[in-house]
């Protein structure tokens, strides 16, 4: 039996004066469809396609304010009331069956259970959930059984006016493609084993040169990075986890920068899958999204130019948008036929918080299953250039 059914949402904890929810709506095209107000916090559920973010905000209690019926409970639901020094993406919620049984199994494996199985109900039914701590930094996983619930999201949340009509609209963003964790050097293997033992995740080889034991190592020309991927094959929509760690002997880089500013391991970026990256990025840029600037030489390198042309894409259009393209590679490293035009296109935003810790990626896949390994050097350099000008 499949333990996990689907990725339900990804949760953030943001500090006061952060405008994540507002930016997700006004710049990224998400729609606020449900909210929950508590005495000292507010939870905002935002949706685009099947990609759902829950933003947990601390709210100031105004002296003399009368608590509404929806704010009678303190704290937050479906997550832990995280006290963290910076804004962070920290909770990944999965839908599953038999939350009590799954939670007990995790506890027997030595996992830390942050919230035991708990039932929350309203007029649309009930949901059972628990929260387990990951061994990756401040990340936790909420396990939800929604089989007895027919509401639009979760009990305790009030649906925004006209939200049902809004979030049923089709759009270019369809789901979460992958989530990248930044980890300390030497920790990858232990993290893989934990997810394999506790959640039945499996290794996913990101490249032909990916080694089962060592991962995919990229080094030279100022880059020293190890990428290792895993996935759960039973999810309704595929979403992979990527572990990223810097290699020894490197100068200060964005991986080290994340660990320092975030205060340890955590979620560095989340990739949003789009069916049309050109129009999606154009709309986001027009709305005020700031993307990391790709080095100009990326589009003038002969091999990359040929790769883009063989994929049937317009070099100038990709250059104008800052979008990178990476073709599927066979065992000999030959791009000549692009495996029937198997490629992906991707772009990264600049950090969304005051610290240089978290950003979003927009990705479109045309038959390619990897993560843009051929673009990593360019992306690495683009981020390094951005950091160098701060």
Q: Are strands 359-366 and 266-274 parallel, antiparallel or unpaired?
A: parallel
Q: 21: which 2 tokens?
A: 């929810």
d(CA 60, CA 274): 37
Lookup: tokens for 55: 């933003």
Q: Is 242 exposed, middle or buried (0-12, 13-18, 19+ CB in 10 A)?
A: buried
Q: How far apart are CA 47 and CA 51, in angstroms?
A: 6
**Binding-site residues:** 178, 269, 361
Residue 56, H or E segment: strand 51-58
Contact 166, 31 (CB under 8 A): yes
- For residues 86 and 353, is the Cβ–Cβ distance under 8 A? yes
- Among residues 19, 13, 28, the alpha carbon closest in space to that of 362 is found at 28
Q: Two tokens at 164?
A: 């049902």
The number of angstroms, rounded, from the C-alpha of 365 to the middle of its chain's C-alpha atoms is 16
| Nearest to 361, CA basis, from 310, 312, 326, 313 | 326
Structure-block tokens of residue 161: 């006016």
Which segments within 123-256 are labelled E, that is strand?
Answer: 125-133, 140-145, 158-159, 173-182, 202-204, 216-220, 223-231, 240-246
Contact 328, 372 (CB under 8 A): no
| Secondary structure class of 171 (helix, strand, coil) | coil
Q: State the binding site for Fe cation.
A: 178, 269, 361
Contact 47, 171 (CB under 8 A): no
């Amino acid at each position: 039996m499949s333990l996990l059914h689907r990725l339900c949402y990804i949760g953030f904890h943001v500090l006061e004066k952060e405008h994540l929810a507002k930016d997700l709506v006004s710049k990224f095209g998400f729609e606020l469809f449900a909210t929950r107000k508590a005495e000292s916090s507010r939870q905002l559920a935002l949706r685009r396609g099947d990609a759902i973010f829950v933003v947990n905000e601390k709210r100031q209690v105004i002296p003399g304010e009368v608590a509404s019926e929806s704010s009678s409970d303190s704290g937050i639901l479906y997550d832990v009331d995280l006290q963290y020094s910076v804004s962070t993406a920290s909770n990944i919620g999965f839908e599953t069956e038999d939350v009590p049984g799954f939670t007990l199994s995790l506890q027997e494996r030595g996992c830390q259970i942050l919230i035991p199985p708990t039932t929350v109900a309203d007029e649309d039914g009930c949901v059972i959930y628990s929260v387990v701590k990951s061994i990756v930094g401040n990340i936790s996983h909420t396990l939800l059984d929604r089989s007895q619930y027919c509401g639009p999201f979760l009990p305790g949340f009030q649906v925004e006016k006209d939200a049902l009509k809004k979030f049923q609209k089709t759009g270019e963003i369809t789901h979460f493609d992958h989530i990248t964790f930044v980890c300390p050097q030497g920790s990858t293997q232990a993290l893989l084993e934990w997810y394999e033992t506790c959640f039945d995740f499996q290794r996913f080889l990101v490249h032909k040169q990916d080694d089962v034991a060592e991962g995919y190592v990229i080094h030279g020309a100022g880059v020293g990075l190890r990428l290792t991927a895993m996935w759960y094959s039973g999810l309704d929509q595929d979403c992979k986890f990527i572990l990223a760690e810097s290699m020894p002997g490197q100068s200060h880089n964005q991986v080290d920068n994340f660990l320092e500013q975030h205060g340890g391991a955590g979620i560095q970026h989340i990739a949003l899958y789009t069916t049309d990256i050109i129009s999606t990025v154009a709309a986001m840029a027009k709305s005020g999204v700031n993307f990391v600037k790709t080095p100009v030489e990326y589009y003038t390198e002969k091999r990359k130019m040929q790769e883009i042309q063989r994929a049937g894409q317009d070099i100038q259009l990709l250059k104008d948008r800052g979008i990178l393209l990476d073709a599927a590679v066979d065992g000999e490293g030959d791009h000549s036929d692009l495996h029937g035009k198997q490629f992906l296109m991707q772009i990264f935003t600049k950090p969304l918080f005051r610290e240089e810790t978290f950003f979003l990626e927009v990705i479109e896949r045309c038959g390619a299953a990897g993560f843009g390994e051929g673009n990593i050097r360019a992306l690495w350099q683009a981020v390094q250039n951005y950091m160098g000008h701060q």
